[in-house]
Amino acid sequence: MTTPAQGLHSHVLATLGLAITAGEYPPGTVLRTDELARRFDVSRTVIREVVRVLESMHLVESRRRVGVTVLPTASWNVYDPQVIRWRLAGADRPRQLRSLTVLRSAVEPVAAGLAALNATPEQCRRLTEEALGMVATSRGRQLEAYLVHDIAFHRVVLDASGNEMFARLGDVVAEVLAGRTHHHVMFEDPDPAAVTLHVQVAEAVRERDAARAEALTREIAVGALKELDVLAP
């Protein structure tokens, strides 16, 4: 059922974190440390450390004489990669994918524009390489190979933007892309238009054409949003 885990702490943290983000324990639910200790058959020490971490993610709040209270979704640290992973693994995965895709659609075009200004030659090379990789794997049911290049491509763009906040969204984008491939389509080959757009973005960055890189990436984003019916029809 629950992951084996190579440490008690990780195991309990994963189990509890997953349960809370999945919506078992509605907000306001109170947990007590020694009850949890009994339930997981570990010492209170381990539970306390887990609770502290959960508290730093604002999933719970611990108060004396009360216990550990589960907090409402609104206060969760939704940018915490760990929280994102838990939520993507849980029930509201679709909702989560939507939110994240909208975030992507805002960030990536700007990142691409900055990348056109800041990318190193090496990054330009990798961008082209990955784009060509996407072309090569875009036909004939090579979804997994395609995904690898797609993820790498977007990661390079985010890194090349030179903005630390953007760069850290690489993992999020990877999750979203993987989620999309592994659910949604998986059967049909990727949209040829999208593939072309990626190649053109690589070109634009290489030519230092920021406006074009941004506009093209915005088109890619629109495509991704359409896939999820986020836009009005």
Partner DNA sequence: GTGACATAAAAGTCGTACTTTTCATTCCTG
Partner DNA sequence: CAGGAATGAAAAGTACGACTTTTATGTCAC
Residues near DNA (CB under 7 A) = 7-9, 31-34, 41-46, 48-49, 51, 62-68
Rounded CA separation 123/129 (Å): 10
Q: Is residue 163 a contact point for a copy of itself (CB under 8 A)? A: yes
Q: Is residue 82 a contact point for a copy of itself (CB under 8 A)? A: yes
Q: Is 3 exposed, middle or buried (0-12, 13-18, 19+ CB in 10 A)?
A: exposed
Is 35 strand, coil or helix? helix
The residue from 103, 132, 135, 145 that contacts a copy of itself (CB under 8 A) is: 103
Rounded CA separation 151/29 (Å): 39
What is the nearest approach in angstroms of a copy of itself to the Cβ of residue 159?
A: 10
What is the nearest approach in angstroms of a copy of itself to the Cβ of residue 56?
A: 5
Identify which range of 107-115, 120-128, 137-145, 183-191 contacts a copy of itself by CB under 8 A: 107-115
| Site map 167..186 versus a copy of itself, x via CB under 8 A | xx------------------
196, interface contact from a copy of itself, DNA, none, CB < 5-8 Å by kind: none
Which residues are paired to 61 by β-bridges? 69
Tokens for 39, please give them.
Answer: 């339930």
166, interface contact from DNA, a copy of itself, none, CB < 5-8 Å by kind: a copy of itself
Of residues 56 and 120, the one with the C-beta less far from a copy of itself: 56
Site for a copy of itself in 33-72 (CB under 8 A): 45, 48-49, 52-53, 55-57
The residue from 2, 43, 73, 120 that contacts a copy of itself (CB under 8 A) is: 73
Place of tokens 């029809």: 233
Total binding residues toward a copy of itself, as defined by CB under 8 A: 36
User: Residue type for 154, please?
Assistant: H
Rounded CA separation 150/142 (Å): 12
Strands 67-70 and 30-31 come out as antiparallel
CB of 222 within 8 A of CB of 105? Answer: yes
Rounded CA separation 25/30 (Å): 8
Instruction: Cite the DSSP H helix spans in 41-76.
Output: 44-56
Q: Which residues bind a copy of itself (CB under 8 A)?
A: 9, 45, 48-49, 52-53, 55-57, 73-74, 77-82, 99-100, 102-103, 105-107, 109-111, 114, 117, 163-168, 232
